[in-house]
Amino acid sequence: MNHFSLCVKSGFIFTVILFATTERLPALRISSPQSVQSASCSAPEYRQFDFWLGDWDAFDADKPDTAVARVRVDSILEGCVVHEDYHDTKGSKGQSFSIYDASRKTWHQSWVTNRGRLLIIEGTFQNGEMFMTGVDRLNGQDRHVRGTWKPIPGGVSEIAATSTNGGKTWTPWFDLLFRPHRP
């Protein structure tokens, strides 16, 4: 028997075994009457972060003439999630997923990067601004993080600060301006 015939025969046997075993598995059900209702994400709270949706060039606030990143922010999963795709000019890439958790009346964001970083922050929309906080680990030490997004004329502002002393004092981390992307 040649290698191709063996692969085809092995693939067929695997497929038969896979179908035979999966037909006997119970269906996974994770929805309940409450989650079905909230899954539509039609409540106004789910639209609170929509001001950030767009195709953006990001600029440091102190250097507003030189783009530091290209950022695309889309509404995904039937309007339930705000997805950010970030690419800076130095090769760093990141993605965030933000969702309104109706059960806790809280916004949640998970940020991941191509440098192996994870940041989880949560907060609320108040006075026209999205405000989130969290704690990550940097060099084995807890680092508190807070960020604010708000619509501004011609775009969006995102300002972040960090604290390594439990929030007693804060150090600016970044101050970005998002403006519509220009090709």
Using alpha carbons, select from 78, 117, 84 the residue that is nearest to residue 98: 84
CATH code of 72's domain = 2.40.128.20
Give the chain's end-to-end CA distance (angstroms, integer): 57
Looking at residue 97, its pLDDT comes to: 98
Per-residue model confidence (pLDDT) at position 6: 42
pTM of the prediction?
A: 0.76
Separation CA 129–CA 141 (nearest Å) = 29
Structure tokens at 89: 């000019």
Query: What pLDDT, on a 0 to 100 scale, did the predictor assign at position 152?
Result: 97
Cα separation, 103 vs 175, whole angstroms: 31
Structurally, the chain folds into a number of domains equal to: 1
| pLDDT number for residue 39 | 54
In a domain, 61, yes or no: yes
Low-confidence stretches of the chain (pLDDT < 50) are 3-38
| pLDDT value at residue 58 | 98
Would 31 be classed as within a structural domain? no
- Our CA angle for 40, 44, 47, nearest 5°, is 85
Domain that holds residue 113: 43-180
